[in-house]
Structure formats: C-alpha cells, structure tokens
Amino acid sequence: MPTVGLLYPGHSAEDDFPALEERICGAVRLPVVITSVGEDAHRVDALLDIGSDARLADGASQLSGAQPDAVMWACTSGSFVFGPQGARAQAAAVADAAGVPASSTSIAFVDALRHLGIRRVAVAASYPDDVAQHFVGFLTDGGAEVVSMGSHGIYTAAEVGTLEPSRVVDMVTAADHPDAEAVLVPDTAMHTLAIIDQLEAAVGKPVLTANQVTVWKGLELLGPVPDLPGLGALFRGRR
C-alpha cells in the first residue's frame, strides 16, 4: 500500500491522520513525525522558523524508518509564508533529505484547485489577518481569485486543535460567498478529516481543508489518487 510520510509541527491535530487511516482500512499508510517548534505562534517570524530547512531535514531523518514513498510538509502557514518560490525550494529540500518526492500543504492547495478546475474561492482562516493575507497572496500567485476571506485571529495551533466540529462548520459557512466555487480551510492544526462531507453539505460546494489536501497531494505524487470515502469532492475527481 502507498505510504505518505507526514512532517507535522508540534501537537494539535496530528491525530487526524491515524484516525483517517483506520476509517479507510489501511488503504494508505500515513506515518507522522512531529517536527520541532521554537514557538507555537501564528506570527510570520515564528512560522519562518517552524518551516526552516534544518527542522524539516531532522524530521525527514526521523521519518526514514517508516520507509515513505512520498513525504508531505503538513503545515500550511509554515510553507506559504515563504512565498511560491520559497515553498517550492522548501519542498525540494525535504525531497533531498528524504530521498523521495515531497511537497507541502500550501502547494497542495494550489494543485488541488487546478485539479478540480476551480478558480474563485472563499477562505475560512483560523489565523490572524496578517498571516491569512499571506495565504491569499499565495493562492493569487497560483492563479486563484479569492472572493472572500474570513480570519479568526487564533494565535496558536494548540488552540485551533481544540475547535469543535460545529465551530469549524460555522467558520466555513460564514466565509462562503455566492461567487466562490469552493471554500478553503487552511490550517493543519484544525481537525477536519472526519467532517469533510458535513462541511460540503453545509455550503453546497467543494470544501478543501489543509489535512485533506495534504493527504491528496501525497498520493498524487505517486500516481492516480484513489477515490476515498468521506473526503469530499477532491477525492471524487473533477466535478
């Protein structure tokens, strides 16, 4: 079975991935290595440190025992703050360290939108506004048009990890816009993998979440992505 190794910063929603593995009866292995974090803060300088090559290379070394076929840097803010070129360089450094194809959550969002043929999006961000604007810029550089954006000013990943499903649904519905073809939820610290169908039902359109696109991109690095239940439009192919 395919094995997508995940480099995940700190502790917040890392349990989303083994729970998914269990629900899909081992159709994919998702071993997680927790990478080091200097400061748990949705602040640009802290995020640049979280996504540093040294921290990710150390994580890739720890992941080697799981023999991953591909590796994902499972952190949106710790990739988009580097900008498109920086994020690609970051992913290339992880690939070099791991010896297998690699990418990141931010790149996964852009690639997932292209896969679905979606351009106009709404963003439901947990981050403070200044950090969320970096994500908007990353999407814009990738060819998307952000028609609305809601930011919620949550300063730490640890707090995001405690959000109840009902709060996540509320954030997604509040961010939605009639012109948006999809709603994006850009934080791997948020538990979302068990509620994708619920989120899509709430807005009547595709919802792309950080943990969902991370798994998708990891599989996409290896070839055709299998249809997986409960993971929304992205895992059902083009609309």
Q: 147 is in which domain, residue-wise?
A: 114-209
**For residue 150, what pLDDT is reported?**
86
- Whether 201 and 133 share a structural domain: yes
- Whether 88 and 173 share a structural domain: no
Number of domains in the chain: 2
- Whether 145 and 65 share a structural domain: no
What band does 1 get if pLDDT is binned at 50, 70 and 90? confident
d(CA 62, CA 189): 21
Render pLDDT for 55-66 as a digit per residue (tens, 0 to 9). Answer: 999 999 999 999
Render pLDDT for 21-37 as a digit per residue (tens, 0 to 9). Answer: 999 988 999 999 999 99
d(CA 48, CA 27): 34
Q: Please check the confidence at residue 213 and state whether its pLDDT lies above 60.
A: yes
Query: Which of these, 32, 185, 181, lies nearest to 121 by C-alpha position?
Result: 181
d(CA 101, CA 94): 8
CATH number assigned to the domain comprising residue 131? 3.40.50.12500
Length of the chain: 239
Render pLDDT for 141-154 as a digit per residue (tens, 0 to 9). Answer: 999 999 999 887 78
> Side chain identity at 25, as an amino acid letter?
C
**For residue 174, what pLDDT is reported?**
95
- Whether 58 and 87 share a structural domain: yes
Q: Please check the confidence at residue 54 and state whether its pLDDT lies above 70.
A: yes
d(CA 227, CA 222): 14
- Whether 137 and 166 share a structural domain: yes
**For residue 155, what pLDDT is reported?**
65
- Whether 127 and 97 share a structural domain: no
Q: Please check the confidence at residue 157 and state whether its pLDDT lies above 80.
A: no
- Whether 101 and 219 share a structural domain: yes
Please state the rounded mean pLDDT for residues 82-101: 97
**For residue 237, what pLDDT is reported?**
59
Please state the rounded mean pLDDT for residues 96-105: 98
- Whether 194 and 179 share a structural domain: yes
- Whether 97 and 15 share a structural domain: yes
d(CA 237, CA 224): 10
Place of tokens 């106009």: 120
What percent of the chain is predicted at pLDDT more than 70? 98
d(CA 36, CA 44): 17
What band does 162 get if pLDDT is binned at 50, 70 and 90? confident
Looking at every residue in the chain, the average pLDDT score rounds to 94
Element (H, E) at 122: strand 120-125
Please state the rounded mean pLDDT for residues 43-57: 92
- Whether 77 and 142 share a structural domain: no
- Whether 99 and 13 share a structural domain: yes
Pure H helices in 6-51: 16-23, 44-50
- Whether 120 and 198 share a structural domain: yes
d(CA 14, CA 2): 19
